[in-house]
Amino acid sequence: MDFTLSKEQKDIVKAAREFAEGEFPDVAMEFDRNETFDLGLWKKACELGFVGVFIPEEYGGLGYGFLEHCLITEEFWAVDPGIGQAVLSTTFGAELLGLFGSEQQKNLVLPSLVTGEGILATAITEPDAGSDVTSATTTAVKEQGEWVINGSKMFITNGNLAKHVLVFCLTNPENPSRHGRHSFILVPTDIPGYEATKMHGKLGTRASDTAEISLVNVRVPLENLVGEEGNGFRELMAFFNRTRLHICAQAVGLGRAALEESIRHTKERRQFNAPLASFQVTQFKLAEMATWIRAARNLYYEAAWCADQGKIDHALIAMAKWFSAEMAVRCADEAVQMHGGYGYFDEYKVQRLYRDVKILEIYEGTKEMEKTIVARSILG
């Protein structure tokens, strides 16, 4: 069993780290404080080939695997989670289109994500439908050769910026199975009835756009259905089995940042006439953080490698997702603790990491839902 990255993968890691270190630090605090982002930075990342590397070459991508995308994600998040999210979430939904979209849909959307000409969003969550996605009530009804969509969505990443949105809709309400009632429909955002409102006051990842979406009599052609009618829940689960890998990489990157900041601070900060790093209690904290990070990385490497081989391990992905997110929360907490009062102020990166980290245990499957998946897999 070889755990060594290939030369090409190592080159990707090096290039991603150099780009992030060169571009993110000077603007990270500004973006966080003002809840803003410079799309020029995203376009530059696209030009350098960092965005959508998993998109097949026939649609303009580099044709790499999910592991390569995760490697880039880890490096970006290790420098700044907010900017890392803002840049790399612009392809959110490309995985689903790649699996279930028609050739027309893929040719329309995927190339623009790579070139920096378009952003994709995926709208699933509603005010009263979070973990229980089968409770989603946004409706899509067939009328005169079109889908007519009505409803609202909450917490939608890039809802204000996207050129297209994949909307999770109730299309077959009479189906006796809760898992056979919904479908995904591709919606362009420049049509009447689509309205996105920026949501302010997020705890963390504030550079990334988050929106509340309203859909009022939005009309799109029937061919905008993605995959099979009524198969939306299964498509969503297949989609999450790819994107949850990205969350693992985000967590490892953030955990790394917390560790790096802690090492730097405890070497420089002196108490009782000695560096904090010289005390055993500090050394134990650093050792634990390094071990948690290594364990989480090994989990997501294995899960991503399996996915790239076409072997989706639902339970392994769930393990990697909840463990890596929980690991990152612990690392961020310990980093603030080791910084003491300094860690409570935004001049220090660990304060931002502490706020950024919590979303990892919430989006794309809460840690409780991930543990439920693991438990069911071992109980049979």
Question: Among all residues, which ones are annotated catalytic?
Answer: 364
- Separation of alpha carbons 324 and 370, rounded Å: 11
Would you list the DSSP string of 95-118? Answer: HHHHHH--HHHHHHHHHHHHHTS-
Would you call 202 helix, strand, or coil by DSSP?
A: coil
Token output for 287: 């050792």
**Any residues with CB less than 8 A from the CB of 40 and at least 6 apart, and which?**
none
Q: Which two tokens stand for residue 119?
A: 């952003």
**Apex CA 353: angle with CA 350 and CA 355, to 5°?**
115
Residues 6+ apart with CB under 8 A from 160: 196, 197, 198, 209, 211
Question: Which parts of the chain are beta strand (E)?
Answer: 120-123, 139-143, 146-157, 164-170, 182-188, 194-198, 210-221, 225-226, 270-271, 274-275
DSSP state, residue 5: P
